[in-house]
Structure 1
Amino acid sequence: MNMQSSAPYAAMVLVQLSYGGSNILMKIALEKGLNQLVFVVYRHIIAMILLAPFAFVIERKQRPPLSLSVMIKIFVLSSLGTTIHLNVYYAGLAYTSPTVASALSNVIPSLTFIMAVLLGMEKVKTESPRGWSKMLGTAICVSGSLVFTFWKGGYLFKSFENRPLINIYSTKGSSGEYRHAKENWIKGAALILTSHVAWSAWLILQAVVYKVYPARLSLTTLICFFASIQSSFLALCFARTPAIWKLDWNVQLLTIIYCVRASEITI
């Protein structure tokens, strides 16, 4: 395998590593008092400011005009893939661990496949091995996610759960075991799975929108723009305390900066 053919695989590994790091940092920041609504607002405002100059310069000639229909589609795209997905996802992350959050992301391809089949965008050929492998893989992924959601037994690596390497956000219970401050496994996993449904719908709609607006950087900038407006509206309703909007040189600010960079990698 040469360097050119292996580049996409290396990029996929880099993306997964960035997601894993963002889950860990976000969990720490949430336990340190970072409000998820405020985080989403700051993340997309900063991302929009960083991306806008590149989009303007690079895609100045190839950017198609914006019609009302396209803007509505981008607005819905922002609602699914950012406003709904991220806020519900981080609400679930507050109740569970970064390990579970990362593991549950494996259900996204299966959910996307199921939605595409239901919408008639993809057909399953039951007479071919490829079709059977898709159905089998989907069943395994969905079943595994359900096991993660409703499992009530012990943990496979219990020693790591009792004594985590990063103990910033853990508290010690009466039994002497380390527990997450707001741990609620079922609620957290259910919220994360719900967010992945919105993310899968975003993936499908993104393919539709890209056909009518094939300017990748400009599209991402517009998504960040609408997401910042939507999240700001939610924050004004549910995060009115001025103190939670204050940014200091701490793990909360590091998390915002890191997640902005991680989102740029995945573009």
Structure 2
Amino acid sequence: MEGCSYYLAMVLVQLIYGGSNILIKFSLAEGLNPIVFVVYRHVMAMVLVGPFAYVLERKQRPSLSFSVAAKIFMLALFGTTIHLNVYYAGLAYTSPTVACALSNVIPSLTFLMAVLLGLEKLKIRTARGQAKVAGTLFCIGGSLVFTFWKGGYLFRGFVKSPLINISVAEMRHVKENWIKGALLILTSHIAWSAWLILQFSSLSNFGSLVSQAVVSKVYTARLSLTTMICFFASLQSSFLALFFARNPISWRLEWNLQLLTIVYCGVVISALAYYLQTWCISYRGPVFAAMFSPLQVIIVALFSAIAFAERLHFGSLIGTFLIIVGLYCVLWGKRKDNLVAEQTENGKGVLEDIKVLENDISVTNPVARERT
């Protein structure tokens, strides 16, 4: 039952992220400043989660050293400040479907970073090693096809006219903006992959590469960890706002869709989704968390086809197919790695038991001891 809970949690996370892409696209089209949005959503999440963290984890909260605080600061920098601000800038130039489809490169980017940092062992002569390399190449190739080649329309839309008229002008993007938006989104996913790696293997110090310590295991109070990530994210984005969002009008909130988006993302994403991801990553690792990203494409594509009358391009279909094939090649290789690791650990355990048994025999049986 516990194993199923990890899968259900990550499916819920993808549903949450899929819905947020739609709402955020609307709000950006209505003039919501993306940096101001990042500040507000994380302040709201911090205010919401903070009291629960204080009450529920008061007795089990570990001490916060400077080293752990620096690691949490880096988590906020890569996972929210850089990732979200660049992602929303890209979303303003393209459609939510494109943004979600490109999220499928995250597992390959995560795997590539893990290899470069020495967290993943790549045995190129084995089938699992070749699968991971091929999957990474498929994902990179698919993302390039998706970004630079639209192609013609494949099918007619599910509906003849969009149900939500606000998207008619916004969902038709010229090629230059399409490429610009896709490149920005890919850049944001590099930062997100770095966040996944930092969750699993935090920086030991700023001069070396990585240590084997896990942030979410070193600091086991997950609600407090989520609160501090939101605090640092709001602080970092507020600093950016001093340069890019000086207009006081950008900070004014009204009872409209923009406020609904801030509340949804602050409560559901920054609070609930972050907590669920941290929980899953701490037990199942970053690759497991990244394997569910294709669900976003299905969720958003279906909604966009019905609500926006969005039609599928041939280049988008080919690119998405290559990305998803590459994704599951990487995941298959990772699964085989885990099986081999489990068998190796079991073998070591058996050998240790045999050695202990031999030592016991040599102590209790003088004849056996003389023979040895």
**TM-score higher than 0.5:** yes
- The one-letter code sitting in structure 2 at the alignment partner of 1:233 is F
Q: Aligned to 2:186, what secondary structure does the other structure show? A: helix
Change over 3 Å in CA distance of 1:81–1:162 after alignment to 2? farther
Distance in structure 1 (CA, Å) of the matches to 2:96 and 2:69: 34
Give the equivalent residue in structure 1 for 2:350: none
Give the equivalent residue in structure 1 for 2:262: 256
Q: Aligned to 1:170, what secondary structure does the other structure show? A: helix
Unaligned runs of at least 5 residues, structure 1: 173-177
Q: Aligned to 1:184, what secondary structure does the other structure show? A: helix
Distance in structure 1 (CA, Å) of the matches to 2:175 and 2:26: 12
Larger CA deviation: 73-82 vs 43-52: 73-82
Matches within 5 A, 1:53-72: 53-72=51-70
* 2:33 pairs with 1:35: yes
Q: Aligned to 2:172, what secondary structure does the other structure show? A: strand
- The one-letter code sitting in structure 1 at the alignment partner of 2:52 is F
Change over 3 Å in CA distance of 1:59–1:144 after alignment to 2? same
Give the equivalent residue in structure 1 for 2:13: 15
Larger gyration radius, structure 1 or structure 2: 2
1:114 to partner: Cα distance: 0.2
Deviations 1:8-62 (A, max 9, x none): 3332222212111100110010001111011000000000011111111222222
Q: Is the 8 A contact 1:27 1:98 kept in 2?
A: yes
Give the equivalent residue in structure 1 for 2:221: 215
- The one-letter code sitting in structure 2 at the alignment partner of 1:62 is Q
Aligned with residue 190 of structure 1, among 180, 183, 189:
183
1:79 to partner: Cα distance: 0.9
Change over 3 Å in CA distance of 1:74–1:4 after alignment to 2? closer
Distance in structure 1 (CA, Å) of the matches to 2:250 and 2:42: 17
Aligned with residue 102 of structure 2, among 88, 101, 104:
104
How many correspondences in the alignment? 260
Larger CA deviation: 108-117 vs 128-137: 128-137
Give the equivalent residue in structure 2 for 1:153: 151
Give the equivalent residue in structure 1 for 2:172: 179
Runs of 4 or more, structure 1, over 6 Å off, are none
Give the equivalent residue in structure 1 for 2:113: 115
Deviations 1:213-250 (A, max 9, x none): 22211111111101111111111221111112111111
Change over 3 Å in CA distance of 1:198–1:157 after alignment to 2? farther
Change over 3 Å in CA distance of 1:157–1:12 after alignment to 2? farther
* 2:72 pairs with 1:74: yes
Distance in structure 2 (CA, Å) of the matches to 1:139 and 1:182: 25
1:160 to partner: Cα distance: 6.6
Distance in structure 1 (CA, Å) of the matches to 2:153 and 2:116: 36
Change over 3 Å in CA distance of 1:125–1:202 after alignment to 2? same
Give the equivalent residue in structure 1 for 2:252: 246
Give the equivalent residue in structure 1 for 2:317: none
Deviations 1:170-193 (A, max 9, x none): 329xxxxx7259971100000000
Q: Aligned to 1:130, what secondary structure does the other structure show? A: helix
Q: Is the 8 A contact 1:88 1:192 kept in 2?
A: yes
What TM-score comes out, normalization by structure 1 length?
Answer: 0.89
Distance in structure 1 (CA, Å) of the matches to 2:138 and 2:58: 45
Distance in structure 1 (CA, Å) of the matches to 2:191 and 2:143: 16
Structure of higher RCO (CA pairs closer than 8 Å, 6+ residues apart)? 1
Give the equivalent residue in structure 1 for 2:357: none
Larger CA deviation: 55-64 vs 187-196: 55-64
- The one-letter code sitting in structure 1 at the alignment partner of 2:272 is I
Aligned with residue 227 of structure 1, among 233, 238, 243:
233
Distance in structure 2 (CA, Å) of the matches to 1:248 and 1:141: 41
Q: Is the 8 A contact 1:31 1:181 kept in 2?
A: no
1:165 to partner: Cα distance: 4.2
Larger CA deviation: 178-187 vs 133-142: 178-187
Change over 3 Å in CA distance of 1:182–1:152 after alignment to 2? closer
Q: Is the 8 A contact 1:112 1:201 kept in 2?
A: yes
Larger CA deviation: 163-172 vs 254-263: 163-172
Distance in structure 1 (CA, Å) of the matches to 2:69 and 2:33: 29
